[in-house]
Structure 1
Amino acid sequence: MDFIKPYIQIIEERLSQLNFPDEPENLYSPIKYSLSVGGKRIRPALTLISAELFGSTIEQAVPAALGVEIFHNFTLIHDDIMDEAPLRRKQPTVSAKWGRDIAILSGDVMMIMAYQQFQHYSGDKLSLLFSLFNKTAVEVCEGQQMDMNFETQRNVTVDEYIKMITLKTSVLLAASLQMGAIVANASAQNQEAIYAFGKNLGIAFQLQDDLLDTFGSEDDFGKKIGGDILARKKTFLFLKAFENATGEEKKLLEEAYFSYKKPNPDLVKQIFKSTAADKLCREEIEFYLKKSLDSMNNINVSHPNIELLKNLSEQLIHRTV
């Protein structure tokens, strides 16, 4: 993804320039750590790319992009607490390094810091950005709650799962793009089209993430492989495998996901393959990728960033990390 490196470098530079109080040190150190241990910076880069696409300058879009990235990292801190995850981006999570209570409080401050970035705007632009950000933040929390509910809910449908990942993951990707459009005063039609592009791309992105969590390389992926299976998360892979399994395979899946016995990730992976769940997941990824790319046809401006976004979407979906 070399072609978006200039946008990512801008985000990295501006994140490094954020000022934090010296005290309490154990409140702000986790925030600095969270923002400095890497990450793809895809969401804020999309904000910059979108703003440029619709005629704004990158500089005008930087505060919105930083707000998106700070909020995203806040959600990761709290997500890792709930998942009791030891690693994020090949590094100890904030909760593993500083403890649960500090991680919660540092995450709360990051949410406030995200709001502060939007205060760089005024008038209708501020109102539109705040409205979109608030709607998206609530949806992300709704998606997280659905994800948690699914862990103990026996019957989950594929449609329910797609709704959950839409809320938990894809709406923030979509909002990142629409925020750039808002900064650029893009038309309502163009805002709707770029949002639809991001929403469908986000669904495909999360399905690919689920696939990598099960079949990826821990060295490449940056976190423990098989974590979704150990957490008994009812991903698309599980739902399709359970739907297609018969006899002994279904019994083994029931034992792995609905008993007190610790799941065996290797055994579950074998069942995912034998039931063609992995193949079906890849097909679903391509379906949402196509929907995403089709949305770009509704954008009525001409700019090189349209092709950039199309190329980026292909690379994101076919990534290994």
Structure 2
Amino acid sequence: MHIDSFVDVLQTELTNTQYGQQPPELYDPIRYIMSLGGKRLRPLLTLMGTYLFTDDWQKAVRPALAVEVFHNFTLMHDDIMDQAPLRRGNPTVHEKWNPNTAILSGDVMLVNAFELILNVAPDQLQTALTRFSRTAAEVCEGQQLDMNFETRWDVTETEYIEMIRLKTSVLLGFALELGGLIAGADAQTMKLLYEAGVNVGIGFQLKDDLLDVYGDPAKFGKQVGGDIIANKKTFLLIEALEQGTGQLRDDLDGWLRRTDFDKAEKVRAVTAIYDQLRIRTITEQRIDAYFSKGFACFEQINADPTRKAVLLEFVQQLIGRES
């Protein structure tokens, strides 16, 4: 099996899926956001998690799509909260239509996601629904913590890691766990798949934080330094606030307080402070640690090495990305 085989089947299912018809104002935004693309890594992880243990991995396609629909539901509502004008280079749903439509269409997407998860086998349904419901709640908990952090300057590294675990990583863990459940894996294997996904997910988010400051603008896909300009509480800023003392801390506080500034100058100045505090090295060490934890979980999973190699290749490609 090659990764493209999973991508092709998933894309066909995405194209053919009907979310509803009437009224069109309710369902057109769903079709729109689902057509904007994206890495589709969550449903692909579900399919590969199933393929680890069975050739009949296509029975996971509809439940895998549930994970992707849920993910896009969170994006639709996050964009409203963030007042974001663009999503993947296109107008966000609340900009193309209006916030009320985006809220209601997002609500229906959540319902659609639960309808899709019902495609697991009856004897697996209660476990799937229980775990999906818990994960969905945790993603919302993470989003609330992220909003709470906007007005706090005392956010610790531990708090930040917990926030990104909830907001982004538990859904990656669930995606893999769901694949194992559909394939009939035992409870210990499902736990390993979940922990692998969570740890790799934390590594991904920390890498996003790092790339926002140190990424190649031509590859990153968005403005480098955007987090610095917005005073966003990222791992790098939290570490700098914890590590900085004396003049360096005063300089950093000064840039954080300024409301009138040249964006390029602020990015250069704050990046220089990060350089002096070795924040890049600290972040890279944390990223490597979480990726290593994830791969340690993968190593413990008892599956055909050739099947496992497909999943590991996909994860390695994601780890190596620069956008």
- TM-score norm. by structure 2 comes to 0.92
Give CA deviations for 1:66-113 in whole Å, capped at 9, x if unaligned: 000000111111122222222222222222322322222211111111
Distance in 1, matches of 2:78 and 2:250, equals: 30
Out of 311, 314, 317, the residue aligned to residue 315 of structure 1 is: 317
CA distance in 2, matches of 1:62, 1:286: 31
Question: Given the superposition, is the C-alpha separation of residues 101 and 134 from structure 1 closer, same or farther in structure 2, using an over 3 Å criterion?
Answer: same
Cα distance change of structure 1 residues 20 and 310 upon mapping to structure 2, 3 Å threshold: closer
Counterpart contact for 2:26–2:105, Cα < 8 Å: yes
What is aligned with 1:253? 252
> Separation in 1 of the partners of 2:150 and 2:260?
15
Determine helix, strand or coil for the equivalent of 2:27.
Answer: helix
Q: Quote the residue 2:277 is aligned against.
A: 275
**1: CA distance between counterparts of 2:301 and 2:219?**
35
Aligned partners of 2:34 and 2:72 also within 8 Å: yes
- 1:197-250: per-residue Cα shift (whole Å, max 9, x none)? 111100101111112233335553334433333442221111112222233331
C-alpha offsets along residues 103-134 of structure 1, whole Å, 9 cap, x if unaligned? 22211111111001012234331111101100
Aligned to 2:122: 123
**Structure 1 252/106 Cα, relative in aligned 2: closer, same or farther at 3 Å?**
farther
Contact 2:45–2:175 at 8 Å: present in 1 too?
yes
Partner of 1:226 in structure 2?
225
Match of 2:86? 87
Query: Counterparts of 1:315 and 1:124 in 2: how far apart (Å)?
Result: 34
Match of 1:167, as an amino acid?
Answer: L
Deviation at 1:26, TM superposition (A): 2.5
Runs of 4+ residues over 4 Å off in structure 1: 258-263
Q: Which runs of 5+ in 2 are unaligned?
A: none
Whichever residue aligns with residue 124 of structure 1, its letter is D
Matches within 5 A, 1:199-210: 199-210=198-209
- Does structure 1 conserve the Cα–Cα contact (< 8 Å) formed by 2:121 and 2:182? no
Offset at residue 275 of structure 1 (A): 1.8
Q: Percentage identity across aligned positions?
A: 43
1:144-193 Cα shifts (integer Å, max 9, x gaps):
11111111112111111111111111100000000001111101111111
TM-score (norm. length: structure 1): 0.92
Size of the aligned set, in residue pairs, is 320
Aligned to 2:26: 27
Q: Which amino acid aligns with 1:317?
A: I
SS in structure 2 at match of 1:39:
coil
Q: Which string of whole-angstrom CA distances, capped at 9 and with x for unpartnered residues, describes residues 262-286 of structure 1?
A: 6733432332223221221111111
Distance 2:219 2:108 in 1: 31
Q: Report the residue type matching 1:249 in the other structure.
A: L
Partner of 2:98: 99
Say whether the 8 Å CA contact 2:19–2:112 is kept in structure 1. Answer: no
